[in-house]
Each structure stands twice: as C-alpha cells, then as structure tokens.
A and B are shown apart, each in its own frame.
Chain A
Amino acid sequence: MAVARDLTRAMLGFGTMLRAAGLPVTTGALMDAVRALEMVDLMERGQVYLALRTVLVSRMEEQPGFDRCFEAFWKFQADDGQGLEGLVAAVQPRGSEEEPPTGGMEGAQQKQTQIALEDWDEGEAQEGEPLEVPGQSDRELLMEHDFSTFPVEQLDEVARLTVQIAKRLARRVSRRRKPTRRGGVVDLRRSMRANLTRGEIIELRRRSRRRRKVRLVLLCDVSGSMDLYSRFLLQFLYALQNVFGRVETFTFATRLTRVSELLRGPSYKSALRRLTEVRDWSGGTRIGDSLRDFNREWGHLVDRRTIVLVLSDGWDTGEPEVLAQEMLSLKRRAGRVIWLNPLLGNPSYEPLTRGMAAALPLVDHFAAAHNLASLRELAGHLTIR
C-alpha cells in the first residue's frame, strides 16, 4: 500500500517534470503510469523506461524530451538529494530563457512593436464588455487600411471585425454543403423508412457525398514587422477553422516552430500572446531552411487535400536555390500553395528580392493579406480547384 502511494507521488513529480519539458501529460495518464509500473520489474531501469514511455509519450516527437526527463528522474530517484524544483528547471528545453538581443536601431524598433502588441493583448482580456460597433462608413474605411497603420487602440476593433468576417464566410460555406434532393447516392436506410407503408420502394431518398474538408498548413514569418500580419491572418483563419478539416500552424524566422497545439488551447488570445515568446529575434529570416525543416519533419501533413499558406515578405538571408527547391517539393505534394506578402498591398511594390523571385514561379496564388478586404478576398482562394 505504502509502495503504491510512493509510486503515485513519484509519478506526480515526474509528471510535473514532463509538463515543464513541454509534454502534455494528463493526470489520467499518470495514474495509468502507476498501474503500468505495477506490471514491471521496478528494479530494472530498461523496463521502467519502456513502460513509462509507452504510457506517457503520445507522439514520436515527444520522445527526446521524455528521454531527457527520464534520465534526470532516474538519477534523482537513485541518489535522492536535490529538491524537485531544481530538477524541473534542469530539464526545461534550452533556449526558452534566452534574452532577445536589443542592439541597434532595428532592435529598438522591434522592441517597440513587441511592446505595442503586448499592450493590445492585455486589452483583449476584458472580454465581457460590449464593444462599440462602428458605423457602416467607418467600417468600409477600416477594410482598406493596412494593418500596420492602425494605432494600437484600434487593433482591438480590427481583430473583432476580422473574426466577424470570418464567421460570416464560414456560414456561407456550410450552407453550400447541405444535401440536395437530386443527385448523390441513394440512401437506402432512409428510403426504407419512408416507404414502409407502401410495400415497395417508390420514393428514393438520396444523400450527397459529404464534401471532404480541405486542410490548411500555415507557415508564418514572425520576424520583425511580419509579426503583426501573422497575427491577423491567424486570427482570421482560426475563426474560419470549422470550415477546414484541420489547421496546422508553424512560425519561422530563423528556425521553424510548430505552434498548432499552442493555438488549440481554450484561451486562443493568451496563446497568441505566447507566440511572442516563441519568436526568435536573432536577425534575418531563413525561409528556405525553415521550409526544408518543415518538409523533412512535417512533410507528412501535406497531401493533395492540403492548402499550404506561406506568409512572408520574401526577405530571405539564405540561399534562393534552397528556397526554390523546397518550394518545388512542397508544390509537388500540396493541393495548392499560396504565398501571402503584405508588401504587395503597396502599389509600387515589385517582388524583386532574390527569395521572392525564386519562389514566385512555384506559387499557385500570390496575394497581399495586408488589410481586412484582402483577407476576405483570400477566403475565396481557400479551395482546391
């Protein structure tokens, strides 16, 4: 009995470590872990490791983090010295405590944007308050404004409009999917029901094949000024979420980060705030390398029913050949590849950067996504064929 209690306590501690390392471990899983440990030889490290891994890891990518934690945990259980808190800090993934460099003009500017965005997010917290609805003409005005030109106070309002537009679009799409009286395949089950009194089937009931939902993969450039646009695009697409089978989101500047899980939480807004923390500030954008990382590790998420959206201004500090090659590999597998470049909203802009020039021939659709009107227009392109 005492052993079981000790095991439970040890597992709860281990669970804290795993969560600190980023593994989504539930209490239920920890209880299963206790049960699993009762099935194996506790003196044998190999068995304890395999049993805990089977129960507590739920995708291959979590395995390295788990291994790190288990290493520390086993050592800790063995020589029982340090406090658990020190242990938790020890296994935290490296890089999270890195301070962003704040040198130079550009750095200062970025810092400012960051502060502004944080302010905006804080404002989002009071959700209960009804917000003033702007008049029709005001709204039309907002539609055409570039996101970056809004004062911080207005961002809130614009975000709300974004979601509103998305929801309207979502309704339109779902109506389109209602079953028709004609066409489709015969629904025998309902036909039988409808014709029970007649002795034979006179009236056929039909059902149309359910439209298979399109999946979305978003690759958002969050370096410097692109961050603001990423947020609006994300807000827009997540409000549209139920139209799509699934939305997978990645951010990149110099390295790729998967943020889907972050955004799937109950509090979407606080998750958006957390995106700021994920961001890497070390200068430059390596689009090609980020895409290569995506293709290598997450390529299995892309198929013919997937639309890949890349949001970036195309300022790539890497080699354009790499970008072109990875775009080609993406295009081969995806149903559609859309590149969004907010700079396109500026009438005098021409896609002359080396990166953009390399990527452009491999893109199915090239659009701006710099204001509400362009987001609304984008929705029309989010279908395959």
Chain B
Amino acid sequence: MRAEIKKIEEMMEAAEYVTDPAIAMSVHLAMTLKKPLLIEGHAGVGKTEVAKVMAKMLETNLIRLQCYEGLDAAQALYEWNYPKQLLHIKLEESTSHSLTEKEAAIFSPPFLIKRPLLQAISETGTPPVLLIDEIDRADEEFEAFLLEVLSEFQVTIPEIGTIKATQPPYVILTSNRIRELSDALRRRCLYLWIDFPGFEKEVRILTRKVPGVNERLAREISRFMETVRTIRLAKVPGVAETLDWAQALTSLHADHLDEELVAETLGCVVKDADDVKRLKRELATGGIARFVAAQS
C-alpha cells in the first residue's frame, strides 16, 4: 500500500510538481476514499496546482469553477441558451406545432449550457477532476448549495429531469481564508494545509522550475526568502514570487546574490510600497549577509 503513495509522489514529480509526503498522502486519500479535498494555504503556495497535477496523473479532464462574490447556480450549474431559444421560437412561428411541442423543443439538452458543476457530473467515461477554486470568495449561500451538490452528485433540472453522475468526480476545493468556511463544508472534506515550503523544498522547486539557476544561487534565494517570510509584511511573498525573482536574476546572468542586485530586483519579491520600504530598512541594518548566511 505504501507503494501507491510512493507512486503518487513519483507521478507528481514527473508532472513537474515538487511535492512532499503530506501532499501525496492527501491526494492518495482523496482518490481512494473518494472524498473532496479542501486545500488551504497562503497565496502562491501551489494549491491550485495540486488539482492540475492530479488530472494529469489520472489522465482525465480538469474542470474548473472559479469562485467569486455573487457567483450563483446559473453560472455554476447550468443555464439555458436564451438567444438560441429565441431564434428557435422565431423559426417555429409559422409551423403548426402546439405550445407543448414548442416548449419541449426549446427546453431540451441542445439548448442547455452546461456550467462546470453540471459538466463534472454529466461526464461519462473516466471521472474528471473538479477544481472549485477559491471557494472562500463565493457567498455563504453558494457554499450551502455546493454542499448539496457534493453530497448527492446529482442535479435536477425541472424541464429535463435528474442527472446523476455515473462516477462521482474527484473534487478539490481551495481557499485563501478570506473568510471562514462553514463547519458543514469542512466536515465533508479531507483537509490539507500547505505552508510555505521549507528551505530544502524551495531549493528543489527552484532547480526544477528555473532552468538557468545554479545550485549556489538557488540556495541563496531560498535562504533569503526564508528570512523575508519571518519579517512582518503586509503581503508575505509566496513561491510564485520566488520563481519570478529567480527568473529575473538568471536573465541578468547572476550566479549569486549581492546587495546591489537585491536592491534592483526587490520589486519581484515584495509588491507593496510599504513592504518594499520595510525590507529595504531591514537590508540596510543587517546587510545581505544576515539574509543569506543564516546557513548552519
């Protein structure tokens, strides 16, 4: 059984995702227990990536529902294709079809626009991966609606009938913790908290994702980021920032960090005026050595 988790780890690495045992275990359980997986963590730690990699691993479709404030059932589940319906009614005007016939025609599957949730449920063949991204952005009401869908995996469309998933999709939910999610939703899900990567993991991510980066630079960048994340900033930089920065540094043909270089490229690391100021102050007092040479 251990081999399965190992295999997941390998497959994730093969799909260009630097993983760790906790992530592999969550993915393993989500697939075997067939339960939705809720992933929380700071912005830019690779939450969404898990779903993408999972779809790649399973060689199945990834269906994504991006949540936002005001998202409702019509945008998440299904909607009728109104322009098409109107056109059809126009075309049918001169025919002798009865009202019931006309109604049946325009409320039939060809006039249905499937939104992500319905798409995930009605897919035949291998079950897809359904990514419900940033669920914390949606309203509480939507969360309740989602719970219903997630517990039944069936949808009733009054005009057509009930559609039930032949095989329930794998569900990944992500949250940035803009608001607290309900306990009911949490109870239904497996849970994974992805923290900022540790030093070793970040080095691995860098050497993996940024081709031009050498060992020394990767280690210095990771150490620098580790220190930066201990400073109280308004917006703590994530892995995305690390990668951006490494990309910028390699395109400047840097092979190690120095004061001047850091000062010039600081905008890649922190993106808030106050944070830039604070970080500059910290750099001025301790010097770059404090950030990089924390090595033990």
Contacts and interface: CB of A to CB of B under 8 A. Distances in A.
Given A189-B79, A212-B139, 16 more contacts: A39-B32, A44-B2, A47-B21, A50-B22, A54-B190, A54-B192, A55-B29, A60-B40, A63-B193, A188-B80, A192-B86, A200-B89, A210-B70, A260-B180, A264-B183, A301-B179
B137 to A, nearest CB: 10
A255 interface: no
Nearest to A60: B193
B191 A54 contact: yes
B187 A300 contact: no
B178 interface: yes
Interface of B: 1-2, 4-5, 21-22, 25-26, 28-29, 32-33, 35, 38, 40, 69-70, 74, 79-80, 82, 85-86, 89-90, 93, 99, 102-103, 106, 139-140, 176-180, 183, 186-187, 189-193
A58 B186 contact: yes
Contact of B2 (A40, A189, A260): A40
A209 B139 CA distance: 13
Interface residues of A, number: 45
Given A50-B21, A212-B139, A32 B191 contact: no
A29 B193 contact: no
A196 interface: yes
State the main secondary structure of chain B at its contact with A: helix
Contacts of B191: 53-55, 57-59
Interface of A: 24, 26, 28-29, 32, 35-36, 39-41, 44, 46-47, 50-51, 53-55, 57-60, 63, 188-189, 192, 196-197, 199-201, 209-210, 212-213, 215, 245-246, 248, 260-261, 264, 300-301, 303
Contacts of A301: 179-180
B190 A189 contact: no
B205 to A, nearest CB: 20
A50 B139 contact: no
A199 B32 contact: no
Contact of B139 (A46, A196, A245, A248): A245
A63 B187 CA distance: 15
A213 B70 CA distance: 11
Contacts of B177: 300
A264 B187 CA distance: 15
Q: Name the residue in B85, B89, B93 with the highest tally of chain A Cβ atoms < 10 Å from its Cβ.
A: B89
19 contacts: A36-B33, A39-B28, A39-B33, A40-B2, A40-B25, A46-B21, A47-B21, A51-B25, A53-B191, A54-B22, A54-B29, A54-B192, A55-B190, A57-B193, A58-B38, A59-B186, A192-B80, A210-B70, A212-B70
Contacts of A188: 80, 82
Contacts of B25: 40, 47, 50-51, 54
Contact of B40 (A29, A53, A59, A197): A59
